[in-house]
C-alpha cells in the first residue's frame, strides 16, 4: 500500500517541474511553474556569507554515500557555506542527536538525508521550532508528520518509484516476462527502499510470468546483501533473477551467486539501482544486467535552492532529479558517470 509519502509525492508529481539542474530549476521558477504553497510559516534564511550549514550524513559505508558527502564538501566554498558535518554510522538515533547538536549550535541551515521516513520526521519540526530552515536531500520523511513546503523548504531527490519501474521494465524484457525473482531490499523504513519496492512490485504484478519468490532487506550494504543472498539461494535454488535496491547489494549477490557455482548474468539475471563505478564495471563484465542511476550529487542543487529561498523565491515542494540508465548497450560510453 502506498505510504503517506508516496501518496503525497504522487500528488506533488502532478504539480511539479522536473529540473535537470539548477539552471533548469531557475528557468521553471522564473516562468512561474513552481507550486505555490503556504510557506509563510517556514523560517527565513539569511543571505549572509559565510552561511553555517549543518549536513548530517546517515552512514559512509558505500560509494554512493561517499559521493554524496563529497558533493557537499566540493560545493561549500563556491556557495559561501561553512559546513558542519556529522556521520550517524547507520543509526537513526545518532542522526537525530547529530541534528539536535546542530540545532544547539544555531546553524543557519540544515541539510540532510533522513535515514528512515518516520524516526527522522519529528526532528524536522524541532528545527522549524528553533527557527532553522531545512532542506531534505536524497530521502524524504513521513508527510503525515512533517510536510514539504510547510515544515521544511523542499525535498530534493529522485523519483524512487520510477526507478523501480525502470528496473522492472528492463527485467521483463531481459527475461521475456518469465522470472523467479529474489528482491534484496534497502534499509527497512527508508523512503528509497519503500518506493523502489513499490515501483518494482507494480510492474511485476502486471506480468503473470514474473514472481517474487523471496524479498528481504540487505540494508543497502554489500556484505549484508551477500549474506542474505547466500541464505536465499539455498532456500530457492530455482531463482532466475535478482532485483537489488542498490549496486552494493547487487555486487554482494554476485559474489554469493558465484560462490554457489552459478553464473551471474547467465544463470541469474540481475538488475539494480545507483550507477556506481562498481556497478558499471559489473555491467561491462556481463555479470550485472542493468543499473538505474540514482544521482548522489546534491551539493550544487542544495546550494542553488538555498540561495533562491534566501532571496524569497518560491521553491517547489519536490525538486526532482533526473536519472540515467545503464546496460550493456551504453556502459562503455557511460563510465565517466560512475562514482
Ligand atoms: O537513498 C539512496 C540510497 O542510499 C542509495 O541507493 C544507496 O546506495 C544509499 O545507501
Q: Where are the domains of the chain?
A: 51-157+296-322, 160-294
For residue 217, report the phi and psi dihedrals to the nearest 5 degrees. Answer: -80, 135
Top mutation candidate among 64, 90, 193, 321 for ligand 1, by most atoms within 8 Å of CB: 64
Sheet holding 51-57, edge to edge: 81-87, 51-57, 109-112, 134-137, 154-158, 318-321
Q: What b/e sequence results for 2-25 when a residue is b if at least 16 CB atoms lie within 10 Å of its CB, and e otherwise?
A: ebebbebbeebeeebbebeebeeb
pLDDT at 37: 38
Top mutation candidate among 68, 89, 90, 186 for ligand 1, by most atoms within 8 Å of CB: 186
**Shared fold status for 51-157+296-322 and 160-294:** yes
Indicate the CATH number of 51-157+296-322 among 3.30.530.20, 3.40.50.2300, 3.40.50.970, 1.20.1050.40: 3.40.50.2300
- Nearest atom in ligand 1 to the alpha carbon of residue 63 is 8
pLDDT at 41: 85
Question: What is the C-alpha separation between 192 and 273, in angstroms, rounded?
Answer: 10
pLDDT tens over the chain, length 339 residues: 334 455 455 444 433 433 333 333 433 333 333 333 344 589 999 999 999 999 999 999 999 999 999 999 999 999 999 999 999 999 999 999 999 999 999 999 999 999 999 999 999 999 999 999 999 999 999 999 999 999 999 999 999 999 999 999 999 999 999 999 999 999 999 999 999 999 999 999 999 999 999 999 999 999 999 999 999 999 999 999 999 999 999 999 999 999 999 999 999 999 999 999 999 999 999 999 999 999 999 999 999 999 999 999 999 999 999 999 999 999 999 999 999
pLDDT at 125: 98
Q: Closest Cα partner for 21 from 316, 297, 310, 232?
A: 297
Question: What is the C-alpha separation between 198 and 255, in angstroms, rounded?
Answer: 26
3-state class percentages of the chain: helix first, strand second, coil last, to nearest 5: 45, 20, 35
Distance of alpha carbon 258 from the chain centroid: 28
CATH top class, domain 160-294: alpha beta
Q: How far is CA 5 from CA 10, 13, 161, 216, 314, in A?
A: 8, 12, 11, 22, 22
Cis status of the peptide bond prior to 197, with omega within 30 of 0: no
pLDDT at 28: 33
Top mutation candidate among 117, 185, 274 for ligand 1, by most atoms within 8 Å of CB: 274
pLDDT at 197: 98
Question: What spacing in Å lies between the alpha carbon of 68 and ligand 1's midpoint?
Answer: 10
Q: Grid coordinates standing for 335?
A: 563510465
Question: What spacing in Å lies between the alpha carbon of 32 and ligand 1's midpoint?
Answer: 32
Question: What is the C-alpha separation between 132 and 304, in angstroms, rounded?
Answer: 18
- Nearest atom in ligand 1 to the alpha carbon of residue 245 is 6
Q: Grid coordinates standing for 109?
A: 541551515
Using a 6 Å cutoff on CB, does residue 184 contact ligand 1?
no
As to burial, measured by CB atoms within 10 angstroms (0-12 exposed, 13-18 middle, 19+ buried), residue 215 is middle
For residue 156, report the phi and psi dihedrals to the nearest 5 degrees. Answer: -105, 115
Amino acid at each position: 500500500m502506498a505510504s503517506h509519502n508516496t501518496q503525497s509525492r504522487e500528488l506533488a508529481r502532478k504539480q511539479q517541474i522536473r529540473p535537470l539542474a539548477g539552471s533548469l530549476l531557475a528557468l521553471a521558477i522564473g516562468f512561474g511553474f513552481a507550486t505555490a504553497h503556504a510557506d509563510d510559516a517556514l523560517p527565513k534564511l539569511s543571505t549572509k556569507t559565510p552561511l553555517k550549514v549543518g549536513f548530517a550524513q546517515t552512514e559512509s559505508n558505500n560509494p554512493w554515500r561517499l559521493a554524496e558527502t563529497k558533493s557537499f564538501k566540493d560545493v561549500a566554498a563556491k556557495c559561501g557555506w561553512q559546513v558542519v558535518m556529522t556521520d550517524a554510522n547507520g543509526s537513526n538515533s545518532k542522526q537525530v542527536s547529530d541534528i539536535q547538536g546542530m540545532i544547539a549550535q544555531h546553524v543557519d541551515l540544515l541539510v540532510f538525508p533522513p535515514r528512515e521516513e518516520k524516526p527522522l520526521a519529528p526532528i524536522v519540526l524541532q528545527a522549524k521550532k528553533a527557527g532553522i530552515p531545512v532542506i531534505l536531500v536524497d530521502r524524504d520523511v513521513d508527510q503525515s508528520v512533517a510536510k514539504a513546503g510547510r515544515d521544511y523548504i523542499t525535498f530534493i531527490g529522485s523519483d524512487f518509484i520510477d526507478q523501480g519501474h525502470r528496473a522492472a521494465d528492463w527485467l521483463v524484457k531481459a527475461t521475456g516476462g518469465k522470472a523467479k525473482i529474489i528482491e534484496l531490499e534497502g534499509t527497512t523504513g527508508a523512503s528509497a527502499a519503500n518506493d523502489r519496492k513499490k515501483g518494482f512490485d507494480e510492474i511485476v504484478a502486471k506480468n503473470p510470468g514474473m514472481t517474487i519468490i523471496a524479498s528481504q532487506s540487505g540494508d543497502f550494504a554489500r556484505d549484508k546483501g551477500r549474506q542474505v543472498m547466500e541464505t536465499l539461494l539455498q532456500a530457492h535454488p530455482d531463482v532466475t533473477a535478482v532485483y537489488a535496491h542498490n549496486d552494493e547489494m547487487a555486487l554482494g549477490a554476485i559474489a554469493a551467486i558465484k560462490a554457489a557455482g552459478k553464473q551471474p548474468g547467465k544463470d541469474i539475471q540481475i538488475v539494480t539501482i545507483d550507477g556506481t563505478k562498481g556497478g558499471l564495471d559489473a555491467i561491462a563484465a556481463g555479470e550485472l544486467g542493468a543499473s538505474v542511476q540514482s544521482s548522489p550529487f546534491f551539493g550544487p542543487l542544495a546550494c542553488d535552492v538555498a540561495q533562491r529561498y534566501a532571496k524569497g523565491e518560491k521553491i517547489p515542494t519536490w525538486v526532482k532529479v533526473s536519472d540515467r540508465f545503464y546496460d550493456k548497450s551504453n556502459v562503455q560510453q557511460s563510465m565517466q558517470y560512475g562514482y
